[in-house]
Structure 1
Amino acid sequence: MSGRAGILNGLLVAIGLAIGGYFIGDGFVSARALERSVEVKGLAERDVMADTAIWPMQIMVAGNELEPLFIAIEKQGAQVQTFLRENGFIEDEISVSAPSVVDRLARDYSDPNTRFRYSVTQVITVFTSKIETVRNAGQELAALGKAGIVLNQNDYNFQTQYLFNGLNDLKPAMIEEATRNAREVAAKFAEDSASRLGRIRNANQGQFQISDRDSNNPHIKKVRVVSTISYYLVD
């Protein structure tokens, strides 16, 4: 009797293990099915006009006596400000820095044969939302040159900057567009793989980038965002 009971118990244990193994195995299959996914990227772009311009204008005079240089820089600064007002800018949009003096002979690496000992510079900066006014005035700078005013236009620090500050207004629509584009790509992939598109597994909005549309039109900006989204695939 005890032998038959032992055999019966053994059969029950074996059956239990088999059933448990089936459910465990089925669980792994289901888990693997849930892990089937596709990761896609969605792009959204906009070309927008800059809404802020920063236009620094550096004037420079050089000579061997400081007093006439300060008189000259003051006169030229006043001429530049008059030029700006005549071209559509108001006082609140114009700021003037204090003159800066460089003594070339006082430098450790100075050239004793330098023609002029002193150079005096002053920066007049326009900060404005009048983008087209800045561009139009920039085309009239020859008038200052004819008046004997030397502007430092080649230094990168004195290039006109065009900025776009309206990103927050664009974000919702652009994120929606990028997400829609990503879903279209994922749906096509699911269709080609004989699957259906499931819910979102995870999503990364991506960073917004603002750059010049091209080198010739820095006042036109390209706003770009790439969203990365992963979807589950369902049989």
Structure 2
Amino acid sequence: MKDNEANTGGLFMFGLFLAIGLIVSALFISGALKEMKSGSQTIEVKGYAERTIVSDLGVWHCNIRTRSENMVTAYNKLKSDIQTAKDYLLSKGVKSEEITISSVNSQKIFKVNDEGNYTNIIIGYELDQNIKVSSKNIKLIQILANEATSLIEKGIEIFSEPPQFFYTKLNDLKVKMLGEATKDARERAEQLATNSGSKVGKLKSAKQGVFQITPVNSVDVSDYGEYDLSTIEKSVKAVVTVEFSIE
């Protein structure tokens, strides 16, 4: 008799716990369905876009300097060297409006004693000027960077810097690529949603990542973005992080 009562009590408790479990499960599922219907569930994905561009502006810098015991002599020599350099650039096909010449920088040269320390005795002056050439003729910029040091043969102390190559329509391109990256993000979200039996709803938020402008086939990246100026042909990569509602 006691065994029957124990069995009956056990079955009762089992049934009670089962009923409670079913009620809780039903409430949970009901709440989840309400969240999905209200669009409170979201999915966050990254979208990517990549393009190859060709630079349309080249910039080349050089520095010309002179030294003399007399400042006037140093200035006259610098003035002559700058004119010679300008004539050289014009002869190569550079337009006058593409040439920018900086103001004259000057500094005193002090005598060094036997211990290798500078003294207050002025023994000369050093003057220099920078020349900048900006041109859409990319090949010409390359030629100048490689051949301008031939002016050394004319007694000119010239220091040539590596050329830089820019893409002047970059801002317009960025806008287009952000649209492409957002479209890519939606396609990725739709694929994920389809696999889970859901549908992608409205765009909830979007965050623009940094642009990576690198040499073609480069894997260099930076948290602050890359902007390569050393190559004519470049790869531009855009990334966006997008959040969509799930229906």
Q: Would the alpha carbon gap of residues 169 and 201 (structure 1) be closer, same or farther in structure 2, given more than 3 Å must change?
A: closer
SS of match in other structure, 1:228: strand
- Which of 194, 198, 201 is residue 199 of structure 1 equivalent to? 201
1:178 matched residue in structure 2:
181
Aligned to 1:61: 66
- Classify 1:115/1:45 alpha carbon distance in 2 versus 1 (closer, same or farther; 3 Å): farther
Equivalent in 44, 49, 52 of residue 44 of structure 1 = 49
Identity %: 22
TM score, norm. by length of structure 1 = 0.73
* Kept in 1: contact 2:71–2:124 (CA 8 A): no
Q: Describe the shift of the 1:198–1:159 C-alpha distance in structure 2 as closer, same or farther (beyond 3 A).
A: same
- Aligned residue number for residue 238 of structure 2: 225
CA contact (8 A) 2:110 2:119 kept: yes
Per-residue deviation, residues 27-55 of structure 1 (Å, max 9, x unmatched): 84444223222110111122212222332
1:33-82 deviation line (CA, Å, top 9, x unaligned) = 23222110111122212222332211011221222211211111111111
Residues 1:222 and 1:51: Cα distance change in structure 2 (over 3 Å): same
CA distance in 2, matches of 1:114, 1:159: 37
Residue type of the alignment partner of 1:67: V
The partner residue of 2:81 within 60, 70, 76 is 76
Structure (1 or 2) with the greater strand fraction: 2
What is aligned with 1:103? 108
Contact 1:62 1:69 in 2 (8 A): yes
8 Å Cα contact 2:212/2:237 also seen in 1 = yes
Tell me how far apart the structure 2 counterparts of residues 150 and 115 of structure 1 sit (CA, whole Å). 22
Task: Check conservation: 1:208, 1:223, Cα contact below 8 A.
Answer: no
Deviations 1:141-161 (CA, angstroms, capped at 9, x unpaired): 2321222222234xxxx5543
Q: Partner of 2:159: helix, strand, or coil?
A: coil
Q: Map of 1:145-184 to 2, 5 A cutoff? A: 145-153=152-160, 159-184=162-187
| Closer, same or farther: CA 101–139 of 1 in aligned 2, 3 Å | same
CA–CA distance in structure 2, aligned partners of residues 114 and 54 of structure 1:
40
Residue 197 of structure 1 contacts residue 231 of structure 1 at CA under 8 Å; is this kept in 2?
no
Q: By how many angstroms is 1:120 displaced?
A: 0.7
C-alpha separation in 1, matches of 2:75 and 2:166: 34
Q: Which runs of 5+ in 2 are unaligned?
A: 1-26, 112-116, 219-227
How far apart, CA to CA, are the structure 1 residues paired with 2:28 and 2:131?
76
CA contact (8 A) 2:48 2:184 kept: yes
AA aligned opposite 1:120: L
TM-score by length of 2: 0.70
Question: In the TM superposition, what are the counterparts of 1:14-53 in structure 2 within 5 Å?
Answer: 28-33=31-36, 34-53=39-58
RMSD: 3.1
Q: Secondary structure at the match of 2:50?
A: strand
Q: Is the 8 A contact 1:47 1:222 kept in 2?
A: yes
User: Does the C-alpha gap of structure 1 residues 171 and 228 become closer, same or farther in structure 2, counting only changes over 3 Å?
Assistant: same
Aligned equivalent of 1:138: 145
CA distance in 2, matches of 1:151, 1:27: 79
What is the aligned partner in structure 2 of residue 91 from structure 1? Answer: 96
